[in-house]
Amino acid sequence: MSFLAFFWICDIGFQKSINTTVDAASRANLETVERVLANTAPKGREAVIAELRDLDKLWANGALFEVADANGEWIFRSNGFLHPRTPVPNASENAVSFFTTNLDFNQYRIALAATRLNGEIFKIYAAVPTEPFDQALDRFRLIEQEALPPLVLIATLLGYWLSGKSLAPVGEIIRTAEMIGVDNLSHRLEVPKPHDELRRLTETLNAMLGRIENSFQRITQFTADASHDLRTPVAVMRATAEIALRKQRTQTEYEEALSRILQTSVETSAMLENLLLIARADAGAAGLEMHPVDLKTHIRRAQEHGAILAATKSLSFTSQLPESEVLVKGDAIAIDRLLMILVDNAVKYTPPGGRCEIALTTSEAEAHISVKDSGVGIDTEDLESIFERFYRADETRSREISGAGLGLAIARWIANVHGGSITAESVIGTGSVFRVKLPALAAV
């Protein structure tokens, strides 16, 4: 189709060029006759005829002309200039008219004009044969007809080769993608060298595979950790019950066994609740209800809860609050949960006689919550991972401390879903401080 359109445009252009050339030639001949008439008209009719006869002898290539008076009676006519076989337009003194007709069975392009000399009007017909131009056009069309089939064949073969070469990387991408599965998610597509759209597509697919691999690893790790942490308390409850039922026990022994089972089941229930919360958060179905809440109220409640826990370990738990209210848009239950997690951790990892503090400040449309303790601290290498699910710090921090390592992961999710962030700073043997930033609302 492209070649047909190209040849069609060339044909139209060639025809237009021929028409322009023929019109220019006939106009030039007409202007030559006008100049001869202008020079000889003052000398009389005989002189005009003699000059026109000499001019006719000079012209070649089949050019003809005729000069007539105002009544249409010809004054001079070239041999072969028969009367046109088509209607002749009216001659005008102000413009040149063109028409095509047959003279002596040959086709001519005729330029027609009228000129006034010495008070007399002369009609001039200047004819140029179109046969040479028609022959040139026919030869051009013949060349087109002969050249079109091989050009189409060559273009088809070349297009097939180019399309195969250009689509080869796509085929390689498809073959490689088909081989990637659960067992080899780390495999990546080969990036083409040219900086084109295929390279961008390959890099995008590799980035997507990287995200899928990370998600799959997290899911696998989550499943493994959850299975491990759930297997232990279930095993403890089963073993306690089996030991208690092996022989007759005293009431005190039964009560101790039941108490141990109850405590383990409570801890397991808390773990399951956390697992369900994280699962709902991952699915986007946590069901949080966002409303303006005053952080002062929640901080005060968290401090009271911390003080009760701290009393059992002879700890001091204080708070620092601003005088005015601090409003944020959030879910009251989720914010309480976030604060309780941080408070529980502060008390849990602070040895007897230590101190804990929760504080609230504001700056530049942000609310800042900090929970500080004088506990065992966190190693620098662990600070980057403590917010991951099921992560437990080293033995120094975790010794004799129960928990599944889900609290801080939930705390980070709550902070993020409220448009904030949570960070931690710590020094081994000195203590830790957890900082939460939340977008603050203007006070009403």
- pLDDT, one tens digit per residue, over 411-420 is 888 899 899 9
Q: What is the mean pLDDT of residues 128-148?
A: 72
The pLDDT of residue 249 is above 50:
yes
Contacts of 352 (CB under 8 A, 6+ apart): 313, 314, 315
Q: What is the mean pLDDT of residues 227-247?
A: 78
The pLDDT of residue 87 is above 60:
no
Q: What is the mean pLDDT of residues 374-397?
A: 74
Contacts of 322 (CB under 8 A, 6+ apart): 296, 360, 361, 362
Contacts of 346 (CB under 8 A, 6+ apart): 306, 317, 356, 358, 371, 372, 373, 375, 432, 434
Q: Which domains does the chain have, with CATH numbers?
A: 2-137 (3.30.450.20), 197-282 (1.10.287.130), 291-441 (3.30.565.10)
Determine how β-strand 431-441 pairs with β-strand 327-330. antiparallel
**What span, in angstroms and rounded, lies between the C-alpha atoms of 166 and 168?**
6
The pLDDT of residue 346 is above 50:
yes
Q: With b meaning 16 or more CB within 10 Å and e meaning fewer, what string describes 204-230? A: ebeeebeeebeeeeeeeebeebbeebe
Out of 314-323, 357-366, 396-405, least confident range: 396-405
Give percent of the chain above pLDDT 90.
Answer: 14
Size of the chain, expressed as the number of residues it contains: 444
Residue 294: band (very low, low, confident or very high) from pLDDT cuts 50, 70, 90: very high
**What span, in angstroms and rounded, lies between the C-alpha atoms of 424 and 419?**
18
Count of C-beta atoms within a 10 Å radius of residue 13: 10
Q: What dihedral do alpha carbons 236, 242, 248, 254 form, nearest 10°?
A: 30
Determine how β-strand 355-363 pairs with β-strand 421-427. unpaired
**What span, in angstroms and rounded, lies between the C-alpha atoms of 47 and 436?**
115
Q: Which of 45, 22, 37 is nearest to 114 (CA)?
A: 37
Count of C-beta atoms within a 10 Å radius of residue 345: 23
Q: What is the mean pLDDT of residues 298-327?
A: 90
The reported pLDDT for the residue numbered 49 is: 82
Residue 26: band (very low, low, confident or very high) from pLDDT cuts 50, 70, 90: confident
CB 37 within 8 A of CB 48: yes
The reported pLDDT for the residue numbered 334 is: 87
pLDDT tens digits for 419-441?
Answer: 999 999 998 888 999 999 999 98
**What span, in angstroms and rounded, lies between the C-alpha atoms of 146 and 286?**
75
- 305 pairs with which residues across the strands? none
**What span, in angstroms and rounded, lies between the C-alpha atoms of 320 and 357?**
8
- Looking at this protein, which amino acid is placed at residue 365? A
The reported pLDDT for the residue numbered 422 is: 93
The reported pLDDT for the residue numbered 395 is: 47
Q: What is the mean pLDDT of residues 117-141?
A: 77
Give percent of the chain above pLDDT 70.
Answer: 76
Report H helices in 180-294. 197-245, 251-282
Query: Largest alpha-carbon pair distance within the chain?
Result: 159
Q: Which of 54, 38, 61, 16 is nearest to 113 (CA)?
A: 38
State the chain's mean pLDDT as an integer.
79
Q: Report residue 129 as tokens.
A: 């044969």
The pLDDT of residue 187 is above 80:
no
State how far the alpha carbon of 232 is from the alpha carbons of 226, 235, 246, 401, in Å: 10, 5, 21, 15
The pLDDT of residue 306 is above 60:
yes
Q: Which of 381, 315, 380 is nearest to 348 (CA)?
A: 315
Residue 30: band (very low, low, confident or very high) from pLDDT cuts 50, 70, 90: confident
Determine how β-strand 421-427 pairs with β-strand 327-330. unpaired
More confident residue, 248 or 147: 248
**What span, in angstroms and rounded, lies between the C-alpha atoms of 112 and 65?**
10
The reported pLDDT for the residue numbered 88 is: 65
The pLDDT of residue 225 is above 70:
no
The reported pLDDT for the residue numbered 396 is: 45
Q: What dihedral do alpha carbons 410, 415, 419, 421 form, nearest 10°?
A: -120
DSSP 81: -
